[in-house]
Structures are given as structure tokens and as C-alpha cells.
Structure 1
Amino acid sequence: MNNLTNRQKQAINTKFKITEIALELFKSKGIKKVKIKDICNKANVSIGTFYHYFDSKEKILEKSYIQIDSMIAENIENIVYENNLDRILKLFNRANILIEDLGWRFVADAYTHLLTSEDRYSLCSKRYPYVLIKESLEKGIIAGEFLPNFNPEEVSEVCMRLGRGMVFDWCLHKGSYSLTSESEKSIITYLKTFQVKI
């Protein structure tokens, strides 16, 4: 950010502030109950400023996926892993801790929006979680941890589907169980199919 002008820095800070406050309000009230006016009042910006950065409050949800991926990537990069399965499990663990912290209502609103949105970032195979899972599976095959008879890209896709399904189920149960521990059990059960038996 050193090469940016003061105006550019201010724009980045304003957009971040709007995002942060909107997510906080979505989390506490639910997206349907939050009006753009509420976000603007709390962020101390005009409605025109809001629309300069976002077309709608739902766009903030779409952009939050990118922020969550960045937070997970930062959080996971310096962790020591026992093996490549452990690396995948730690990815899901960190992601699910963040999701649990956001709360089932917020996440249910986000999923509801995803169903009708044209934005498909959450399905993009270039997202950090997809890349890390695929890379871990490939390294695991080379290290002799996983069998060589499967396609890491397909298995990483199924892992992500499984993760999304677990989050959806957790929302249906209104967050009544530990998403983190239940997801781990499901991922382990699925990936055992591809592990080398010792």
C-alpha cells in the first residue's frame, strides 16, 4: 500500500469499513433486516458512497468469500502438519471455526443468496481451499500417504461439496452441533477411501 495515494488509501479504508460494519450487522440482525441506510449510518458514510463501492448489500456477501479465503490462507500457512491428510483437516478446521463464529443465521443468509446469485466465486477451483486440497492430495500420493489411483482434482471437488453440505446441514440444525468436529469426521471418512492402508 506504500505506492498508493492518500485518496486511494482512503478509498480502500472506506470500502473495508463498510464491509466490516455490514457483516457485523448481518451477523447480529440477519441480512434481510439490515437496510443500506443502517450500514451507512453506522459506517458514517453517505448512501452515495455505499453505492460507489457496492451495487447492493448482497454484493458485500459475495466479496466476503474472498476475504474469508484470505483469512484462512493467512491462518494456515505457518501451521506444522503431521501429513497431507492433516493439512486438509486443518484447512477445514480453520474454515469451520470462522463459519461457526459468523453464526448459522448469517451463513444461512449467505447460502440463500448464493442460490440466486450470478457470482460463482464459491465454486471456483482456483480458490485457496480447492488449491490446497488438490496440492495436499498430490503431495500425499508422492509421499505414499494416498493411493495413486484417483484424480486429485475430482476428489478435491468432492471434499468441497462435502464441506458445503456440512455447512448447509449445520444451518438446518440452527448451529446446534459442532460444525468443526462433525465436518472433520466426514472428511476423514471420505478420504480414508484413498489412504494407503498401513
Structure 2
Amino acid sequence: MIKKTSRQIQAENTKAHILAVAKELLQHRTFDEISIQDICKKADVSVGAFYHHFENKTGIVVEIYRDIDLFFFNEVLESVTDEEPIEAIILYLVTQCQYALNSGKDLVKNIYKAQIENGNTFFLSKERGLPEGLRRLVLRAIDENKIRRDVPADLLIEELLILARGIIYYWCVSDGNVDMLEYARRMTSNYIRSYQI
């Protein structure tokens, strides 16, 4: 393993600090209301430092999703692998909703808005950590004959992701006044049941 230089460590810390400040600002203001200058002022960094780490303001949202992907691929996937295959899929998607709940509706609303308005090539990528983790769980369920083999795995994965995103969206537009986790468990279970053997 190559040891990082102090300069590399400092750069990583600066990027993480800028991201943390941006997340904090997004808890109280919309994505449109926050400027790069606002982020830099609160983070006590120069605008040049911001652009060294992020291409633009949308880069903040992309980076938030990278963090989510790492969390799901490295931690959540591992935490559900001992579960029965169908239950593992359900828990994975319920955890996606729990993550949104923990992040708060204002931040989630801002992330959804930024996705819609600033292009979504990155967000729809199947190579991201969260979808890749779900793909592994679905393939395992198919391999263990828990889900029918005549349905393409990619279709199941896409529809499960749409289901989870839709539940999170509904929670946002309901101003957090619905039991998102109950919806996620029940609706995911009902969906998968239609494909079980």
C-alpha cells in the first residue's frame, strides 16, 4: 500500500470539510439558495480550493451520492448477506429509505431537485455502489431459486430501485408525514412476492 503524503491527506480533509459544510447548509436552505461563495465562506476556504475539489456546485450532490454508494456497498451489503435472500433484498431497500430518513427531508428534497435539474447520468448509472449491491442480492436470490429465472435480473433491479426512490419521493412530498419504512417493507415485499418461486 502506497503511503499518502501529508499534502494528499490535507487535500482529502479539505474536500471532506467542504462537503460537510455543504451538507449542513443544505439542511436549512435549498440547493438554489446556496452559492459556492456561501459554502466557501462557511468552510473558510477559497473559491479556488472549492474548484480544485469540485467541478461545480452539482459536484457536491454527486459526492454525496458517492458517499451513499460507498456506505451501501461496503457496509449495508455486508450487513444483510447472512439474511435469507428475499429478506436481504427487502432490508437493503428499507435501509435506503432509513438513510433518507436519517438525512432529513430537506436534504433529500434538495438532492432530488439537483438530480432533476442538473442531469442525471451519474445518478442513473448501474455501476454505482448502491445499485451494484442490489444487483448482487438479486442475482443471489435467482441463483438460490428464490426468484424466477425467466425475469431478467436487470429489470428486477431497475424496478426495485424505482420503487425505493418512489417511496422516498412520496415521503418528501408528504412532508415526512408518512411511515416511509413501513411503506418500503410492505411494498418491496409485495413486489418481490410476485416473482418468487
Alignment TM-score, normalising by the size of structure 2: 0.90
User: Aligned with 1:32: secondary structure?
Assistant: coil
* CA-to-aligned-CA distance 1:65-115 (integer Å, 9 cap, x gap): 111111222332144533111111121122211111221222112111111
Q: 1: distance between equivalents of 2:81 and 2:149?
A: 24
Q: Percent identity among equivalent residues?
A: 25
Look up the match of 2:136.
135
Residue 24 of structure 1 and its aligned partner are, at CA, apart by 1.3
User: Aligned with 2:3: secondary structure?
Assistant: coil
Q: 1: distance between equivalents of 2:141 and 2:172?
A: 32
Residue 38 of structure 1 and its aligned partner are, at CA, apart by 2.7
Task: State the AA in 2 paired with 1:120.
Answer: T
* CA-to-aligned-CA distance 1:132-187 (integer Å, 9 cap, x gap): 22222222222221222211111111111111111111111111112222112111
Look up the match of 2:4.
4
Aligned length: 196
Q: State yes or no: 1:49 paired with 2:49.
A: yes
- In structure 2, relative to structure 1, the CA distance for the partners of 1:119 and 1:141 (3 Å cut) is closer
Task: State the AA in 1 paired with 2:46.
Answer: S
Q: 1: distance between equivalents of 2:27 and 2:2?
A: 33
CA contact (8 A) 2:27 2:104 kept: yes
Moved more, 28-37 or 144-153: 28-37
CA contact (8 A) 1:88 1:132 kept: no
- In structure 2, relative to structure 1, the CA distance for the partners of 1:189 and 1:103 (3 Å cut) is same
* CA-to-aligned-CA distance 1:27-86 (integer Å, 9 cap, x gap): 133323333233222222122211222233232012211111112223321445331111
Residue ranges of structure 1 left out of the alignment (5+ in a row): none
User: Aligned with 1:55: secondary structure?
Assistant: coil
Residue 119 of structure 1 and its aligned partner are, at CA, apart by 4.2
Q: State yes or no: 1:113 paired with 2:114.
A: yes
User: Aligned with 2:86: secondary structure?
Assistant: helix
CA contact (8 A) 1:91 1:129 kept: no
1:54-93 aligned within 5 A? 54-76=54-76, 77-79=78-80, 81-93=82-94
Q: Give the ranges of 4+ consecutive aligned residues of structure 1 lying more than 4 Å apart after TM superposition.
A: none
CA contact (8 A) 2:97 2:180 kept: yes
CA contact (8 A) 1:92 1:180 kept: no
User: Aligned with 1:190: secondary structure?
Assistant: helix
- In structure 2, relative to structure 1, the CA distance for the partners of 1:190 and 1:78 (3 Å cut) is closer
Residue ranges of structure 2 left out of the alignment (5+ in a row): none
Alignment TM-score, normalising by the size of structure 1: 0.89
